[in-house]
Amino acid sequence: MTELPAPPAQTPARPYFSSGPCAKPPGWAPEKLATESLGRSHRSKIGKARLQLCIDLMRELLRLPDTHRIGIVPGSDTGAFEMAMWTMLGARPVTTLAWESFGEGWVTDAVKQLKIDPVVLRADYGQLPDLAAVDWSHDVLFTWNGTTSGVRVPDADWIPADREGLSFADATSAVFAYPIDWAKVDVATFSWQKVLGGEGGHGVLILGPRAVERLESYTPAWPLPKIFRLVSKGKLTEGIFKGETINTPSMLAVEDCIAALEWAKTVGGADGLIARSNANAAALDKIVAERDWLGHLAEDEDTRSRTSVCLTVAGADEAFIKAMAGALEKAGAAYDVAGYRDAPPGLRIWCGATVDVADIEALGPWLDWAYATTKASN
């Protein structure tokens, strides 16, 4: 009988490595949240003021130019991106880039729901499509950071300044984790539950001036549900971008996001958040480099995610990964680290800014333990 290895002596202090919802900011506690808006209408003076503060803090931290608007919308990142697709697509040809499950989701919606015929540029998990092949006379849909594949675009240099179409960036695992050239982004969406470690259910929609122009000059052929409507009488509904949400938000989630944004300021703002993500990813890279049974699904370092890092495990199938992740969870060493259900079998470790590098470093020996334990039991 194979002798099972002893578990490591040190456990990560915060073993929260889920890729969404992600770890809360260090030091977070529910009693630290402001409560004066709770139980109040989101349309009350204080409700609107707190929603506006949340928007203002996001603008400040992202260094978003005044040309771009920020709105809090329902349905997390998915709701925000669907809103953009349903309200703006159809005015010109469309190209969609898909290299993981969420990008494939936008392809499905474009083809089966909106019934447009997009050009689809695909790549396998771990790879990136040929960005040079994109026709920018089209509207272009892409995920900035593929959460389920661990592959990201390298930067915004591939997006031309003189593009004819609009750039639609599903940036849910990228905002606050990478520098973003906002002049190259017409539409961006994200969720608080990723890099900020906020609660799920709310999305953020960022519109550049070219997107606003599209909204005010184009009417889609299909009907729009109420929660997708951004225009009234041919003009952008500006209130949405001043804290007057389309539907009722959770003020508790808003207060939680404000707390996360205020924490971000204490660690150096956007630059500090990016530095924390980079340090976490570098610590995980070191763990991978030291183990011959562990690898990166995204082999190209220049396009490898520094937030949702997807790992390969030698000889592992879905059952092996499930057992390995289960052993880590039972030991209290790592929660929610199995890869996404549609991705190749492997591990997925969140390295966003709310994770501490010491916990990534402490994870390495536990990965060894879980791998050896699972292998011994098979």
Residue 199 in this model has a pLDDT that exceeds 80: yes
What was the pLDDT predicted at 377?
87
Q: Binning pLDDT at 50, 70 and 90, where does residue 330 land?
A: very high
Residue 219 in this model has a pLDDT that exceeds 80: yes
The answer to whether the beta carbons of residues 192 and 199 sit under 8 Å apart is yes
Cα separation, 41 vs 147, whole angstroms? 34
Residue 367 in this model has a pLDDT that exceeds 60: yes
The token pair at 75 is: 């349905």
The answer to whether the beta carbons of residues 151 and 144 sit under 8 Å apart is no
Residue 160 in this model has a pLDDT that exceeds 80: yes
Residue 1 in this model has a pLDDT that exceeds 90: no
Residue 46 in this model has a pLDDT that exceeds 70: yes
Overall average pLDDT of the 189-194 stretch: 97
Cα separation, 216 vs 230, whole angstroms? 9
Overall average pLDDT of the 79-89 stretch: 98
Residue 27: which H helix or E strand, with range? none
Please tell me what DSSP assigns to residue 338. Answer: B
Overall average pLDDT of the 325-337 stretch: 98
Q: Which residues contact 133 (CB under 8 A, 6 or more apart)?
A: 121
Topology (CATH level 3) of domain 30-264: Aspartate Aminotransferase; domain 2 (3.40.640)
Which homologous superfamily does the CATH classification assign to the domain defined by 268-377? Aspartate Aminotransferase, domain 1 (3.90.1150.10)
The answer to whether the beta carbons of residues 77 and 209 sit under 8 Å apart is no
Overall average pLDDT of the 158-163 stretch: 98
What burial letters (b/e) apply to 254-277, b meaning 16+ CB within 10 Å?
Answer: bbbbbbbbebbeeeebbebbbebb
Q: What is the mean pLDDT of the chain?
A: 97
Is 0.85 topped by the overall pTM? yes
Structural domain boundaries in the chain = 30-264, 268-377
Q: How many CB atoms lie within 10 A of CB 332?
A: 12
Q: What are phi and psi of 227, to 5 degrees?
A: -75, -5
Residue 2 in this model has a pLDDT that exceeds 70: no
What was the pLDDT predicted at 5?
83
The answer to whether the beta carbons of residues 309 and 102 sit under 8 Å apart is no
Overall average pLDDT of the 1-5 stretch: 69
Overall average pLDDT of the 270-283 stretch: 98
Overall average pLDDT of the 297-312 stretch: 97
Q: Please give the single-letter amino acid code of residue 354.
A: T
The token pair at 350 is: 């969140």
